[in-house]
């Protein structure tokens, strides 16, 4: 499984990166995790006929702002957008004029499914609710003998541990600065590291660095160091980084 980190910022786009978007390249398909401002970078990567699945964590704008550039793509294998139960109507309300072209007008054949209706996919996945200000789900994806967990936009949550159990890679969020924890809507690096530790994950990748707090790259290095003292196999990828698991 090849992982492209297309957007590693949280909240808004700055010189440190775009908002959350991660692309998984699998044998039979592509999986996009969230559609933040980094989504446009998929244009240079997805060039073949494999189907594309976009798994949304929730509908906060920094995770869906990239949807407005869907007209750029002509993905011949089609696009299936998967969203949390109860979210489909709200997503359809955003994915229409005057906000953006409707799915049926896109070059790419596009459908929207809630998680419960997403069956017979070329990968196994589970979704569980997380702790956040809006209804948010995390994912556990199993494909090609590898397991990847995605817990982005969450506070401390038992379900994040369940999703990350013995995963080859846990992608977790790191909105807050080391030691900061103003609420349980997001994690700081130590909390993300403790999550990876408790889950028994093999590796941890931190993303969703809150753009106003992490306004320079060296602050990410400090987060990485703080997390690494608790969970050794921690990475803090930049936009454009590629990881193979
Ligand atoms: Zn966010
Ligand atoms: Zn959010």
Closest ligand to the CA of 154: 2
Q: What is the pLDDT of residue 39?
A: 98
Distance between Cα 59 and ligand 1 center (Å): 9
Closest ligand to the CA of 131: 2
Say how many Å lie between the first and final Cα of the chain, rounded. Answer: 5
Residues whose CB is less than 8 angstroms from the CB of residue 98 and which lie 6 or more positions away in sequence, other chains included: none
Distance between Cα 133 and ligand 2 center (Å): 7
Distance between Cα 92 and ligand 1 center (Å): 20
pLDDT band at 42 (very low <50, low <70, confident <90, very high): very high
Q: Which of 71, 34, 36, 32 is nearest to 50 (CA)?
A: 32
Q: What is the pLDDT of residue 34?
A: 98
Burial 7-45 (b: 16+ CB within 10 A, else e): bbbbbebbebbbbbbbbbbbeebbbbbbbbbbbebbeee
Positive or negative CA dihedral for 120, 123, 124, 127?
Answer: negative
Q: What is the pLDDT of residues 171-224, one digit of tens each?
A: 999 999 999 999 999 999 999 999 999 999 999 999 999 999 999 999 999 999
Average per-residue pLDDT for the chain: 98
pLDDT band at 10 (very low <50, low <70, confident <90, very high): very high
Distance between Cα 186 and ligand 1 center (Å): 9
Q: What is the pLDDT of residue 60?
A: 98
Closest ligand to the CA of 185: 2
Burial class of residue 89 in the structure, from the number of CB atoms within 10 Å of its CB (0-12 exposed, 13-18 middle, 19+ buried): exposed
* Residues around the ion ligand 2 (C-beta < 5 A): 60, 153
Q: What is the pLDDT of residue 139?
A: 98
Domains within the chain, CATH numbers bracketed: 2-235 (3.60.15.10)
Can you tell me the mean pLDDT for 158-178? 98
Distance between Cα 62 and ligand 2 center (Å): 7
pTM: 0.98
pLDDT > 90 fraction of the chain, expressed in percent and rounded: 100
Which residues on adjacent β-strands are paired with residue 52?
30, 79
pLDDT band at 129 (very low <50, low <70, confident <90, very high): very high
- In angstroms, how far apart are the furthest CA atoms of the chain? 50
Closest ligand to the CA of 136: 2
């Amino acid at each position: 499984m090849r992982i492209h980190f297309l957007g590693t910022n949280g909240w808004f786009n700055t010189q440190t990166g775009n908002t959350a978007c991660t692309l998984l390249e699998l044998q039979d398909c592509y999986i996009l995790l969230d559609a933040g401002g980094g989504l446009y970078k998929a244009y240079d990567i997805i060039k073949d006929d494999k189907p594309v699945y976009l798994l949304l964590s929730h509908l906060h704008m920094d995770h869906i702002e990239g949807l407005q550039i869907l007209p750029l793509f002509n993905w011949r294998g089609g696009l299936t957008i998967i969203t949390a139960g109860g979210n489909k109507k709200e997503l359809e309300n955003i994915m229409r004029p005057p906000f953006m072209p409707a799915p049926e007008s896109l070059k790419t054949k596009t459908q929207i499914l809630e998680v419960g209706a997403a069956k017979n996919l070329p990968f196994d996945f589970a979704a569980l609710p997380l702790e956040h200000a809006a209804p948010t789900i995390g994912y556990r994806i199993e494909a090609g003998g590898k397991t990847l967990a995605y817990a982005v936009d969450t506070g401390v949550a038992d379900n994040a541990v369940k999703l990350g159990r013995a995963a080859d890679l846990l992608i977790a969020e790191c909105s807050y600065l080391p030691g900061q924890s103003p609420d349980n809507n997001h994690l700081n690096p130590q909390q993300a590291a403790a999550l990876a530790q408790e889950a028994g994950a093999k590796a941890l990748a931190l993303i969703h660095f809150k753009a106003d707090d992490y306004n320079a790259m060296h602050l990410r290095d400090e987060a990485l160091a703080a997390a690494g003292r608790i969970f050794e196999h921690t990475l803090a990828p930049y936009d454009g980084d590629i990881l193979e698991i």
